[in-house]
Amino acid sequence: MLHRLLVEPFALPFMQRALIEALLLGMLGGVVSVFVLLRRLAFVSDALTHTVFPGVVLGYLVAQTRGIVWGALLFAVLSAVLLTVLSANRRVTEDATLAILLTGFFSVGVVLVSRRTSYTADLTGFLFGRILFVDRREIVETAVVGAIVLVTLAALGKEFLLRAFDPDGAAALGYRLPLLDLALNVLVALVVVAAVKAVGTVLVIALLVVPAAAGRLLSDRLTVILAAAVAAGGLAGWFGLAASYQASVYHGLRLASGATVVLALVGLYALAFAVAAGRRGLGRLGWLDRLAAAGRPAGGGRA
Amino acid sequence: MSAAPLFGDAFARRALLEAVLVGALAGLVGVHVVLRRLAFFTQAMTHATFPGVVLAALLGVNLLLGTGVFGVLAVLAVAWLWSRQGAEETSVIGVVLSAGFALGVALLSAQAGFTRDLSSYLVGSVLTVGRADILSTAGVLVAVVLVLAAISKELVLGAFDRGTLVALGYRAGLLDVVLLLLIEATVVAAVPAVGTILSVALIVAPAATARLWTDRLGSMTAVAIGLGVFAGAAGLTISQLQNVAAGAAIVLVACACFVLSWLLAPRYGALSRWRASRAVLSTVDGPI
Amino acid sequence: MRIRAFSLAIAGLTTAGLLAWALGGCGTTAASPGASGGAPAPVRVVATTTQVADFARNIGGDRIQLTQLLKPNVDPHDYEASPADVLAIAQADVVLKNGVGLEKFLDEAISSAGFNGAVIDTSQGVRIRTGNGTDEEKAGDPHIWHNPRNAKIMAHNIAVGLSTKDPADAALFERNDTAYAAKLDALDRDIQTRIDTLPADQRKLVTNHDAFGYYVDRYKLQFVGSVIPSFDTSAELSGKDITDLVAKIKATGVKAIFSESSLPPKTAETIGQEAGVKVIGGEDALYGDTLGPAGSAGDTYLTMEEHNTQTIVDGLS
């Protein structure tokens, strides 16, 4: 039974390729999500998925499908630089800057699309991904991007962590914090670009946020979080694809594969949540107490 | 205004009216979004309410009902997770956003034959708002004005000095939830008419711009509302004259206002800060 | 310590990749057609659009086992492949497509499925109108089926293609083709008669997007304009687009705007209000890109064209 659910679908070459891509992206996302968690880059990830849009359109106009990755990358770097520059003003919080960049860049993309309509045929694919159609070349591309990201993280990981936990210390040691931030943002952008084809822009954010968030529920220790995040990313790819296959082939229910992967990831998050809650002792009803405390007047109450 | 002949057509007048209403509503709420750093939450709400859109279309009920229900669910989920993990935990918002949006996409793909409103939902189309859209936006605007009139002071106190707020005996957690619900109501009212991107832009950009010009909440709110309304009117005018999508034009005007203010605002603009730092440097340079 | 964790992750990724790759090397035999013994199995056919699938049903009858990729009322741009679809292509004997660049997703799906059987382009031999000038319609206007004569060619192409795959049933396919062609001829005459009942100066069409070029050409209608200027259904309109079309409608005195079942009616309604003409949509919407779901007025090609004609005639008279 389990064999039919989780192994059999992947005898088919196209499911196999989708699985490899999902595993690569899931585990890559798992690693990067740890830094997204530590540096609170969830909104940055979300914004990058939108700011690359005009780059995708321009890249497509210049060099068809081959141009997409480079256009996206160019605009990702551009928005990372603008984010750093605009946030230098203390009156403007980073989240407001991000929202403005996100909507502004996306609107530029919309203007480009409505001027020249040739790209929109792939707009849906861009938003939701086509993981079932990945070919060998794209898998290799993902693997290369993944290797670049992992090698950079291995080289700069210590600096990123220092920046996250002790920014003053990092600055005192002579690190240029804006440059470190920029480097990390570019790495996130690379994952976004690599994952666009598979899960689409709007769901990439799940890969970059949820794995480490799930790991964080289970432990405070970085290595455990990292291991849990990588495992969650990989497993979600596997289970999600299997669920999509099962539903559409045996039950006549079409479920978009990108969405089932993300839902599997959210399911794992919920599982981690339950485990964490169970560990803290359901007897004391920890969260109920806390929720009640948050809602209760702290001092005496007000008429 | 001299733009009167431009808005001679009924659809353009309706679009203008909607843009003005959304601009005012967004300015009001946006000030709190900016002060409380809730831009990501706002953005997440636009996506987390997506399954509501799909379900409402499937069941044939009002779109506002569907998005409203899912919006409240998302607000409660975020508030609950925050109560466990602390409000600085942005990953919580990311999880709720992903879960909501993926659920919407899955529902959408399961229902063969319903994909038609999707792109207009994401991109929006302010030019085709109907009377119902305008009425619901106006209704939400009135409700938001009333609620803010009642608790605006408390919300601002909560943004700057939570300790005092709690010491005064307010239920801080409850106030937070009320603020989140206000944002959610704004998003739910604005998104079906103008799309997710334009909603977020009108909520955040004018308020962030206003913050560069003034410190006081009252004037900040006034500037934000004014800028929102201006962006709406100017963007529509550009769309009428040039062949540019209306929603995108409004967003770009709002963003341009922000960038200009970022450079030129009297005290907090880049230019005057640069001058100030030069002035300091020259006085330092002088004696030595 | 942390570095070790990263090396671990890298090692994990690499092994997983290699493992999967190796699996890929030895497991590439997709479920192959296994027709052996007993009565010959029906031909396994995958049809892309609703129209092509309907033609295939008429020609193939119960001698084919049909999978239709696009569902009713789904814009081809919004097509999202399910694993079942790709599996169906992988196991198919024949794939039938509309052609003329309509199925942009098909090449990817075919190479993804590893399908190397026959792909029959049903538009072979149809005289293609030039497209609307966008890249989207580089190959020409893909809505060829809105002229029943083209439908005849498409059905015939399907009959020939199926016969090559299944010579034993060739005679049946040919009989079905002849019978269906007669129905299409009758449809063509019927549409002409009904259009002729309209006053000559009222034979003007404003639609939601320009899907009806072949129909307009065949029955000598005048095409005034469309709400969405291209095949593309995602772009947002500018204020100028709307004002321009309203001016055109007022100048030509068209009586109605026809909305389509697979498109949101909101923009058409805005323009209709503006120009002071009625918008025909909802239940009565024209079927432009796809047939309707089973049980609707447009669930087969024949009823769909009848419905469209009736709606147009009613709206304009």
Residue closest to C279 by CA, chosen among C254, C303, C296: C254
pLDDT-derived band at B261, boundaries 50, 70, 90: very high
Q: What is the pLDDT of residue A4?
A: 79
Q: What is the pLDDT of residue C271?
A: 83
Q: How far apart are the first and last CA of chain B?
A: 57
Helices and strands of chain C, counted as H and E runs: 10, 8
What distance in Å separates residue A12's CA from the closest CA in chain B?
Answer: 22
Residue closest to A240 by CA, chosen among A264, A214, A270: A264
Taking an 8 Å cut-off on Cβ atoms, the answer to whether C21 and A133 are in contact is no
Residue numbers in A near B224 (CB within 8 A): none
Q: What is the pLDDT of residue B118?
A: 58
**Token match 């990358």: residue?**
A73
What distance in Å separates residue C248's CA from the closest CA in chain B?
Answer: 15
Q: Identify from A14, A128, A261 which residue to disrupt to test chain C contact, counting C C-beta atoms within 10 A and taking the largest count.
A: A14
Instruction: Please give the single-letter amino acid code of residue B62.
Output: N
**Which H or E run contains A215?**
helix A201-218
Q: Identify from B58, B127, B133, B134 which residue to disrupt to test chain C contact, counting C C-beta atoms within 10 A and taking the largest count.
A: B127
Residue closest to C119 by CA, chosen among C230, C63, C53, C45: C45
Residue of B nearest to A247 (CA): B110
Q: Which residue among C13, C27, C109 places its CB closest to the CB of A27?
A: C13
The helix/strand/coil state of A99 is helix
DSSP secondary structure of A224-290: HHHHHHHHHHHHHHHHHHHHHHHHHHHS-----HHHHHHHHHHHHHHHHHHHHHHHTTGGGTHHHHH
Question: Can you give the pTM of this predicted structure?
Answer: 0.82
Taking an 8 Å cut-off on Cβ atoms, the answer to whether A133 and C30 are in contact is no
Q: Establish, for the pair of chains A and B, how many residue pairs have beta carbons separated by less than 8 Å.
A: 212
* Chain A neighbors (3+ CB pairs < 8 Å): B, C
**Token match 């147009």: residue?**
C312
pLDDT in tens, B219-240: 999 999 999 999 988 988 888 7
Q: What is the pLDDT of residue C231?
A: 40
Residue numbers in C near B125 (CB within 8 A): 236-237, 266-267
Q: What is the pLDDT of residue B117?
A: 52
Q: What is the pLDDT of residue B145?
A: 93
Distance in angstroms (rounded) separating the CA atoms of residues C159 and A120: 34
- According to DSSP, residue C67 is labeled E
Taking an 8 Å cut-off on Cβ atoms, the answer to whether A10 and C23 are in contact is yes
Q: Which residue among C87, C104, C233 places its CB closest to the CB of A12?
A: C87
Q: Which residue among B40, B106, B252 places its CB closest to the CB of A42?
A: B40
What distance in Å separates residue C262's CA from the closest CA in chain B?
Answer: 6
DSSP secondary structure of C2-63: HHHHHHHHHHHHHHHHHHHHHHHHH----------SSSPPPEEEEE-SHHHHHHHHHHHGGG
Taking an 8 Å cut-off on Cβ atoms, the answer to whether C82 and B120 are in contact is no
Q: Which structure tokens are listed for B232?
A: 């709406």
Q: Identify from A43, A48, A102, A103 which residue to disrupt to test chain B contact, counting B C-beta atoms within 10 A and taking the largest count.
A: A103
Is 80 exceeded by the pLDDT of residue B58?
Answer: no
Chain C contact for B147 (CB, 8 A cutoff) = no
User: Three-state SS across C74-119?
Assistant: CCHHHCCCCHHHHHHHHHCCEEEECCCCCCCCHHHHHHHHCCCCEE
Residue of B nearest to C276 (CA): B10
Q: What is the pLDDT of residue B230?
A: 93
Q: Establish, for the pair of chains B and C, how many residue pairs have beta carbons separated by less than 8 Å.
A: 87
Q: What is the pLDDT of residue C137?
A: 67
Chain C contact for B115 (CB, 8 A cutoff) = yes
pLDDT in tens, B109-130: 776 544 455 555 666 677 778 7
pLDDT in tens, A122-159: 556 666 777 888 888 888 988 998 999 999 999 998 88
Taking an 8 Å cut-off on Cβ atoms, the answer to whether A256 and B167 are in contact is no
Distance in angstroms (rounded) separating the CA atoms of residues B256 and B262: 10
What lies within 8 Å, CB to CB, of B244 at 6+ separation is A111, A114, B238, C238
Residue numbers in B near A128 (CB within 8 A): 105
Chain B contact for A225 (CB, 8 A cutoff) = no
Interface of A with C in 80-119 (CB under 8 A): 110, 113-114, 116-118
Taking an 8 Å cut-off on Cβ atoms, the answer to whether C73 and B113 are in contact is yes
Mean pLDDT value across chain B? 83
* CB-CB contact of A218 with A225 (8 Å): yes
Q: Which residue among A118, A128, A249 places its CB closest to the CB of C87?
A: A249
The helix/strand/coil state of B282 is helix
- Percentage of chain A beyond pLDDT 70 is 86
Q: Which structure tokens are listed for C173?
A: 């396919």
What distance in Å separates residue A146's CA from the closest CA in chain C?
Answer: 9
Q: Which structure tokens are listed for C265?
A: 């009616």
Higher pLDDT, A225 or B62: A225
Residue numbers in C near B247 (CB within 8 A): 236
What lies within 8 Å, CB to CB, of B272 at 6+ separation is B264, B265, B266
Q: From the CB of residue B47, how many other CB atoms can be counted at a distance below 10 Å?
A: 24
Q: Which residue among C12, C20, C31 places its CB closest to the CB of A230?
A: C12
Angle at B224 between CA B219 and CA B227, to 5 degrees: 120
Residue numbers in A near C233 (CB within 8 A): 120
Q: Identify from C70, C234, C237, C242 which residue to disrupt to test chain A contact, counting A C-beta atoms within 10 A and taking the largest count.
A: C234
Mean pLDDT, consecutive 10-residue segments, chain C of 317 residues? 50 51 42 49 92 95 91 75 88 92 83 88 90 68 92 95 92 95 96 92 82 90 76 58 84 85 69 85 81 86 94 89
Q: Which residue among A122, A223, A257 places its CB closest to the CB of C83?
A: A257
Distance in angstroms (rounded) separating the CA atoms of residues B279 and C268: 60
Q: Which residue among A203, A265, A295 places its CB closest to the CB of B171?
A: A295
What lies within 8 Å, CB to CB, of C77 at 6+ separation is A120, A121, A123, A124, C232, C233, C234
Taking an 8 Å cut-off on Cβ atoms, the answer to whether C108 and A133 are in contact is yes
Q: What is the pLDDT of residue B114?
A: 47
The helix/strand/coil state of B86 is coil
Q: What is the pLDDT of residue A183?
A: 87
Residue numbers in B near A206 (CB within 8 A): 94, 98, 102
Q: What is the pLDDT of residue A91?
A: 82
Q: Using the Cα atoms of residue A129, residue A132, residue A138 and residue A140 in order, give the sign of their dihedral.
A: positive
Q: What is the pLDDT of residue C27?
A: 39
Distance in angstroms (rounded) separating the CA atoms of residues C285 and C78: 20
Residue numbers in A near C24 (CB within 8 A): 13, 16-17, 20
Interface of A with B in 14-43 (CB under 8 A): 36-37, 40, 42-43
pLDDT in tens, A176-206: 888 888 888 888 888 888 887 677 776 788 9
